[in-house]
Structures are given as structure tokens and as C-alpha cells.
Amino acid sequence: MGRSAAFFDLDKTVIAKSSALAFGRPFYRDGLITRRDVVKSAYAQLMFRLGGTDEQTMARTRDYLAALCKGWPVEQVRQIVAETLHELINPYVYAEAAALIEQHRADGRDVVLVSASGDEMVRPIGELLGITDVIATRMAVVDGRYSGEVEFYAAGPSKVDGVRELAAERGYDLAESYAYSDSYSDRPLLECVGHPSVVNPDRALRKLATENAWPVLEFRHPVPLGRRLRERPAVPVAAAALSVGVGVAIGIAWYGRHRRTRVAAT
């Protein structure tokens, strides 16, 4: 029997928000996105949610992602993420996910984050959780700026390509491995391992889980890192078993707040 691993989707699985959306406000503040980008991003996010598993929709989302990020200085993106990580991400890590990650480590498994968000975002979030292995979207870089080309879009079936490549490199037995996700778009990821589980699933994924008798987990307790360390383990894993790319929609959180502010003022 080979080694095994646990593959975790990130958004709404490990953290209680979209990792890309979380950085929308500082990206807007620092001039990387405009108000027009905010509206377009909101639309792209909506289309992905409504039909994200469709190959054509994923291609459109990938192309939008590439166009949005073209020309961004890579170091500026990394600096924004580093400066705001503890404020925007740390308080939203599910205690149940943190406990489950620790349990997999205790059982001798490697833990891997697999996300459609950009590597520049996902890797620091992984480091926050003590995870060094990441499969994420990678943008081409020329002279320190994103060129507008996507080298690897970690969404849908492409996530499985990344997982299988890493499994071949590390000698993982995928039949003995685990995967966790909240979205039906990750059906290929869940089906490529022997032990899939769904977390806070959307309607389509909940139906699929029921049909396949997959465990359904409900994560409800985001807890900052400091509290998790003081109260370890914050939430027992058993208690949980009750049941897109860099900036695919990075402005939607700011946009929603902006609209509420305008409505309140009228």
C-alpha cells in the first residue's frame, strides 16, 4: 500500500469565505481593480456559481481571470496578501477543518490545498495552516508582471490533473486518499479518491453525495488561530460529521457593501 494524502478545497471548505473575494477591498484600495472590474467580477462569479461545471463557462472564467490580472505587479499582489492575511483570512478558518487537518497529519497523511484561486493567495493561506503542499492557479509572469496568460487553471478536471501529477511524484495511493469540497464543480476531484467527503455542500453536490453515500460534513465555527491554539482541539472532528482563480470575483464583497451603503443613504 502506498502513502495517502488528504486533498482539501479551500473556499467554504477550509475557510468560511472566498479567498479571492477576501482580498477585493485591498486590491481596490491599491488600484489593482476599478469599479468597472467590480461589476464584471460580480457577474463572472454569478455565472460560475450557476454553471461552473460547464467546460465553456470554466474557459470563459479562466480568460476573464487572465485579462483582469494582466499587468499586475506580482510583488504588489504578494505584499497585499501578506499584509492583510491575518485580518482577512485567519478569523475565518473553520475550527472543524483545522481539527480534521490535524487528524489527517496524526494519521500520517500529507495534507494538500487544492484551489482555483491564485498560488500567490493560496500558498500563504496554506502556510497559516501549516500546509506546504498547494495545487492552485498559476499565472504566467513576464518582467515581474502577470502577462495575461494562465499557465495552469486549477478548476474542475484540471484539479485532478494536478492531484494525479503530485500523487505520481509522491507515490500517493489515491484509492486510500481523501478529498473534501463544498462545490459540485469539484466532482472530478471527489471521484478521483477512495474517500470523498462533502463540506457545506451546494444542492447539486448534496444530491450527488446522497446518491453515492458520501459523508456530508457541516462546518459552522470559524475560529481565529490564537483561539485554536489555546483551546486545541477547538471542535472535535466527530462533531462535524453531521451531515474562482486569482480574482475570479475579487471585488464582489466590496461591491455588496458599497451597494448597501448607497441604498442606506437614499
pLDDT of amino acid 224: 79
The reply to whether 194 falls in a domain is yes
3-state secondary structure the chain: CCECEEEEECECCCECCCHHHHCHHHHHHCCCCCHHHHHHHHHHHHHHHHHCCCHHHHHHHHHHHHHHHCCCEHHHHHHHHHHHHHHHCHHHEEHHHHHHHHHHHHCCCEEEEEEEEEHHHHHHHHHHCCCCEEEEEEEEEECCEEEEEEEECCCCHHHHHHHHHHHHHHCECHHHCEEEECCHHHHHHHHCCCEEEEECCCHHHHHHHHHHCCCEECCCCECCHHHHHHCCCCCCHHHHCCCCCCCCCCCHHHHHHHHHHHHHHC
Please give the average per-residue pLDDT across 66-82, as a whole number: 93
Of residues 104 and 225, more confidently modeled: 104
pLDDT tops 90 at residue 33: no
The answer to whether residue 27 is domain-embedded is no
If you average pLDDT over residues 29-58, what whole number do you get? Answer: 68
What's the domain range around 197?
Answer: 5-17+91-230
CB contact at 8 A, 15 and 89: yes
User: How would you label 92-123 residue by residue, b for 16+ Cβ within 10 Å and e otherwise?
Assistant: ebbbbbbbbbbbbeeeebbbbbbbbbbbbbbb
Position 42 scores a pLDDT of 59
Q: What is the pLDDT of residues 6-30, one digit of tens each?
A: 999 999 999 998 887 778 788 888 9
CATH at 176: 3.40.50.1000
What is the average per-residue pLDDT within 73-92? 94
**Does any domain span residue 57?**
no
Q: Nearest Cα to 244, choosing from 128, 125, 153, 169?
A: 153
Stretch among 26-40, 70-84, 115-129, 219-233 having the lowest mean pLDDT = 219-233
In a domain, 237, yes or no: no
Mean pLDDT along residues 45-55: 57
Judged against a pLDDT cut of 90, whether residue 177 lies above it is answered with yes
What percent of the chain has pLDDT above 90? 59
Give the pLDDT of residue 262: 43
Asked, for residue 40, whether it belongs to a domain, the answer is: no
Active site residue 9: yes
In the prediction, which pLDDT does 222 show? 93
Mean pLDDT of 55-66: 78
Residue 72's φ and ψ, nearest 5 degrees, are: -65, 135
Q: Tell me whether residue 256 is exposed, middle or buried, using C-beta atoms within 10 angstroms of its C-beta: 0 to 12, 13 to 18, 19 or more.
A: middle
Q: Is residue 66 part of a domain?
A: no
Tell me if 71 is assigned to some domain: no
For residue 144, tell me if it sits in a domain. Answer: yes
pLDDT higher than threshold 60 for residue 244: no
Q: Report the distance separating Cα 237 and Cα 176, nearest Å.
A: 19
- 25-34, 91-100, 239-248: segment of lowest average pLDDT: 239-248
Segment 170-189 shows an average pLDDT of 95
What pLDDT does 64 receive? 81
The residue whose grid cell reads 457593501 is 257
Confidence class for position 79, pLDDT limits 50, 70, 90: very high
Given the residues 9, 110, 182, 186, the one annotated as active site: 9
Residue 67 pLDDT exceeds 60:
yes
Catalytic status, residue 11: yes
Domains in the chain, number? 1
Mean pLDDT check: name the lowest of 9-23, 133-147, 196-210, 227-241.
227-241
Per-residue model confidence (pLDDT) at position 163: 98
Q: Which of 11, 37, 110, 119 is catalytic?
A: 11
